[in-house]
Structure 1
Amino acid sequence: MLTVKAVDHLVFNVRNVDASARWYEQVLGMVREDRQAPSGDIRTSMVFGQNKINLRPLNATQEAWFTGMTPCPGSDDICFLTETSPDDVARHFRENGVEIVLGPVTKSGALGAIRSVYVRDLDGNLVEVSSYCSSASLG
């Protein structure tokens, strides 16, 4: 039987790869990684922990970027985990001019109760940054 054990990467459809990469670097502390694809195109990924988000330009074709059937920016909803306190997360967002949509609030995470702060990225994706309320591990 097949059992999935982790997420390796996600693909976000974005209007502007460079602007989105700057946002994820500045606001979430991710590291930009550019590499050349076999097609010769430059692919941009945002690396964090053992994961990455590939930033797919909205105008890319299915042949160039094999992806979902209806690629559109602003349709993603993701929750990132941090060990930073929710109040410090909110303060960081405000200091970077990022509007807080909701939070800090208590929600239900995969391992139990989490405290979350919600914002939107440049394309309107819902970005939740959370920390566990108990001793639940991030790893």
Structure 2
Amino acid sequence: MKIKRVDHLVLTVTDIARAIRFYHEVFDMPIINFNAQGEPNCVRCGHQLLEFQTTDRLPKLTAAQPTSSSAAICIVSGDKPEDVCNHLKSYYIPIIAGPVEQVGSEGKMTAIYIHDCDQNLIEIASYKDR
């Protein structure tokens, strides 16, 4: 088997519209998909998708125990860490930790941690050479 990349992640949230608004407004992720009811349920994050579901409207195939506020994901920014901090402050989003040095899939990076609107942990990484 030759795995090439992650295509999409699904986050269980309490309110899909609120989650889409958060990721679209704060991170400028385009809204690109619609569910069977014609409502947005997905944003693009680079070459991957972030899909959203709620526990009261789960698809047939899902994790064993989907719940909101249980995810921890890392997204990569092309901005300097200080610019990321200033951007988050402009949206009144509290920084939980950081900037701190970490190691990611591409080597050393600087990470800043926040919670999204459902209390999922979001790590925002900046690589020095990217």
TM-score relative to the length of structure 1: 0.86
In the alignment, the residues of structure 1 paired with residue 92 and residue 18 of structure 2 have an alpha-carbon distance, to the nearest angstrom, of 15
Larger Rg: 1
RMSD: 1.5
Shift of residue 60, structure 1, vs aligned partner: 1.5
Amino acid at match of 2:10: V
Per the alignment, residue 25 of structure 2 pairs with 26
How many pairs are equivalent? Answer: 130
| Structure 1 runs not aligned, ≥5 long | none
Structure 2 CA distance for aligned equivalents of residues 61 and 130 of structure 1: 30
Closer/same/farther in 2, CA of residues 84 and 74 from structure 1, 3 Å limit = same
2:97 aligns to what? 102
Unpaired stretches in structure 2, ≥5 consecutive residues: none
Counterpart residue number, 1:35: 34
Q: Match of 2:123? A: 128
Cα deviations by residue, 1:69-114 (Å, 9 ceiling, x for unpaired): 1100011111111110000001100110101000111001112110
2:70 maps to what in 1? 75
Instruction: Please name the residue that 1:92 is paired with.
Output: 87
The two structures have a TM-score, normalised by structure 2, of 0.92
One-letter identity of the residue aligned with 1:79? C
Share of identical aligned residues, percent?
A: 28
